[in-house]
Amino acid sequence: MQILQPKPLGLRNLGNSLRLVGDLEKAEEVLNASLILAQKLQLPSDISSALLVLGNIAYTNQQPESALIFYQQAANIAPSQSDRINAQLNQLSLLIDLEKWVNARLLVSKIQPSLTKLPPNRTTIYAQLNLAQSLTRLHQANVSQTADMATIAELIATSHKQAKKLGDKRLEAYALGKLGRLYEQTQQLENAQKLTEKALMLAQAMNSPEISYRWQWQLGRILKKRRDIKSAIAAYQQSVSTLQSLRSDLLAVESDIQFSFRDSVEPVYRELVALLVHSESSESSQEHLLQAREVVESLQLAELENFFREACLDIKPAEIDRIDTQAAVIYPIILKNNLEVILSLPQQPLHHYTIAVSQQKLETTVEKLRQNLVIRTRYSFMPFSKQLYDWLIRPLEKELASSGVKTLVLVPDGVLRNIPIGVLHDGDQYLLEKYSIAFTPSLKLLPPHKLQQNNFKVLGAGLSEARQGFSPLEFVEEEFKKIKLGVPSTVLLNEEFTRKNVESNLRSDFYPIVHIATHGQFSSKAIETFILTWNDRIRINDLDNLLYQSKLPKHQAIELLVLSACETAVGDNHAALGLAGMAVKAGARSTLATLWPVNDESTANLMGQFYQQLSNTKQNKAEALRKSQLFLLKDPNYEHPLYWAPYVLVGNWL
């Protein structure tokens, strides 16, 4: 029997599919195999195509210089003019991202004449629209010797005529919408609206939601500029609704119009929130705030699903008043020029606050706070801690105090996920000294169950020895000794801590608490979010399979997953998405983790206290954590927030 050998095309298609679902490491491996095979068989077209996708992976991995090299190589070896132009267009877009204007102008001068020689087929039209987008960006950057807006409009109009002649309604809708976008940018709003509405009708008739949402969003922007706020809100809501209907289908969008989540999805939600909270109609203000809260929740879910690259979340109605009548939920949302905060208090209407701080200034302050907390200087962090308190908490103080709430639950946005808000300081004391604090990615993911203190048992697993290039954690043994003093525990230490042993223990008995003391990392990329075992790394997508080994029904989920010694990735503004993702994927009702590397000895002390507090039936997990952190704060050896602040409770705080 003849054994069929893999072909470059098959490997390339597999690699591209892996790229689209976010498994970049495996995608790169498969595409390199495709490239080697194509080179061996001397197939220039397959070599060029493999190099092009490898460039896309490098771009996604934030390696722009490597991506440029791949695109250049793909263009150089491409046997057809069409393939060469596609590689050059990717290269041009990246050069514009990097503000390499001279190189971009030079490349435009090569692409434009070549493009006119191609037959007017579907590939050519997409290439023309791609070029028009890059030319628009160059024009907006005031780069000289590039096309003016009239020339760009002519290029898009030509693409539309060609699409119409081909009878390609989908492509026609795409071209019309692009032309509407150009008119929007030149403030010809009436024409922009007409073209956008026509493009939207075509996209909806073709049942193309991945295009429809764009033109609904565009229509909302245009209507906002025309001061028709009611219609603008309706258009934005339709766009968000279309995005939610897509969910996992976002990954199935054709590669020629594949979009970046942060550039082309996030802004829809954020701009809608801005419209809702600043609507001038006092009669509908509470209704709009309720809608804005719903949009913020939906954005958090969309971010997590984009992180996982699948629609995998079990969504439930969020009813905070029924979950905890002594908890306030704070929804901050970061916009370009403002920080908007929605406050939900039990049995009260929603409150709304606008803080006049730019996204750039807020993100810089958060970054400086984290840096100064971690470098262990005495109080260099304090100015940033106070500033963030003034922005995020000070406007809410009166309502929080009068409501009598004991717990603050933050649904954090963007970089606010990367700091523990308990460290924010009002000038007299830390926020932690006044309230218990918890994070949740979304109340819609929250199982409304209180902690069951009966039958407490802990399955512990950890590394005290150096493994896989990571340093030893000398106090892990001490940490488990202190846990055993308060709670019956089974501990898998060092060589006993393997995936197989964890699975075996969870299959044979039910442990309400799983405590893992090891190195790990939370990143904005699922593939880079992991925890370390003796001989392996457990990646986030494997975590739920690992922890759901119990023979008990799934509704008896793990109460608490503790991830001790893990940290958020340095220099990644969205790294704490990995922490939220880990909490969700584990299936545990709550996750306790750390935002930066922690002192071994202080962790052992805190965890010993935490389990003692947890056995107190009169308090919840958030209060148990708070008292444990205050125990360290009052110790002169550990009073610096470096030691007590990084512990955050994610998920159910009850």
Angle at 609 (CA atoms; ends 604, 614), nearest 5 degrees: 125
- Within 10 angstroms of residue 94's Cβ, the number of other Cβ atoms is 21
What are the E-state strand segments in 440-512?
458-462, 489-493
Residues in Cβ contact with 550 at an 8 Å cutoff, skipping those fewer than 6 apart: 506, 507, 509, 510, 511, 556
Measured from the Cβ of residue 282, the count of other Cβ atoms closer than 10 Å reads 7
Judge contact between 421 and 437, C-beta under 8 A.
Answer: yes
103 by Cβ neighbours in 10 Å (0-12 / 13-18 / 19+) ranks as: middle
Of the listed ranges 154-158, 269-273, 552-556, the least confidently predicted one is 552-556
User: How far is Cα of residue 120 from the mean position of the Cα atoms in its chain?
Assistant: 39
- Looking at the predicted structure, is the pLDDT value of residue 497 above 90? yes
Task: Indicate if the pLDDT at residue 352 is higher than 80.
Answer: yes
**Mean pLDDT over residues 582-600, rounded?**
82
Task: Write down the pLDDT at residue 4.
Answer: 45
Q: Residue 256: what pLDDT?
A: 38
Per-residue pLDDT for 274 more than 70?
yes
The residue that leads in pLDDT, 557 or 519, is: 519
- 26-35, 155-164, 233-242: which range is least confident on average? 26-35
Residue 279 has pLDDT above 90, yes or no: no
Please determine, for residue 152, whether its predicted confidence score (pLDDT) is greater than 70.
yes
Question: In the prediction, which pLDDT does 2 show?
Answer: 41
Q: How confident is the model at residue 310 (pLDDT cuts 50, 70, 90)?
A: low
Lowest-confidence range among 176-185, 445-454, 477-486? 445-454
- pLDDT value for 600: 74
Question: How many angstroms separate the most distant Cα atoms in the chain?
Answer: 80
Higher pLDDT, 594 or 147: 594
How confident is residue 525, by pLDDT bands cut at 50, 70 and 90?
Answer: confident
The C-alpha atoms of residue 240 and residue 296 are separated, in whole angstroms, by 11
CB of 384 closer than 8 Å to CB of 422? no
Tell me the per-residue pLDDT of 224-251, one tens digit each, with 9 for 90 and over. Answer: 999 999 999 999 999 999 988 876 555 5
Instruction: Assess whether pLDDT exceeds 60 at residue 254.
Output: no
Mean pLDDT, residues 56-69: 88
Give yes or no for residue 555 having a pLDDT over 70. Answer: no
pLDDT of residue 443: 82
pTM of the model: 0.88
pLDDT at 556 over 70: no
Q: Is pLDDT at 281 greater than 60 in this prediction?
A: no
Choose the weakest-confidence range: 230-239, 284-293, 582-591: 582-591
As a whole number of angstroms, the distance between CA 593 and CA 563 comes to 5
Predicted pLDDT of residue 456: 78
Cβ burial, residue 375 (10 Å; 0-12/13-18/19+): exposed
Residue 340 CA to residue 333 CA, distance in Å, equals 5
- Banded pLDDT at 3 (limits 50, 70, 90): very low
Checking if the pLDDT of 551 tops 60, the result is no
Amino acid at 374: V
Q: Which two tokens stand for residue 177?
A: 């919408």
Own/partner long-range contacts of 345-351 (Cβ < 8 Å, ≥24 apart): 345/399, 345/400, 345/403, 345/405, 346/320, 346/321, 346/403, 346/405, 347/321, 348/403, 349/286, 349/289, 350/286, 350/289, 350/290, 350/293, 351/396, 351/399
pLDDT at residue number 82: 92
Residue 259 is predicted with a pLDDT of 45
pLDDT at 258 over 50: no
Look at residue 416 in the predicted model and tell me its pLDDT.
94
pLDDT for 257 beyond 60: no
505 vs 514: CA distance, rounded Å: 11
- Summarised one tens digit per residue, pLDDT across range 185-221 is 999 999 999 999 999 999 999 998 989 999 999 999 9
317 pLDDT more than 80: no
Average pLDDT over every residue of 400-411 = 96
pLDDT band at 487 (very low <50, low <70, confident <90, very high): confident
Cβ contact 304:364 at 8 Å: no
Helices (H), 206-265: 209-225, 229-246, 261-264
- Environment class of 289 (CB within 10 Å of its CB; exposed 0-12, middle 13-18, buried 19+): buried
Residue pointed to by tokens 């993100």 = 363
Give the integer Cα–Cα distance in Å for 431 and 385. Answer: 10
Under DSSP, is residue 39 helix (H, G, I), strand (E, B) or coil? helix
Cβ neighbours of residue 322 closer than 8 Å, sequence gap 6 or more: 448
In angstroms, rounded to a whole number, what is the distance separating the alpha carbons of residues 111 and 82? 10
Residue 479's nearest CA partner among 510, 517, 453 is 517
pLDDT the model gives residue 451: 66
Render pLDDT for 623-654 as a digit per residue (tens, 0 to 9).
999 999 999 999 999 999 999 999 999 988 98
**pLDDT at res. 69:** 95
Nearest to 246 by CA among 208, 279, 297, 216: 208
Give me the pLDDT at residue 284, please.
63
Task: Specify the pLDDT at position 57.
Answer: 87
Mean pLDDT for all residues in the chain: 87
The whole-number average pLDDT for the span 440-469 is 81
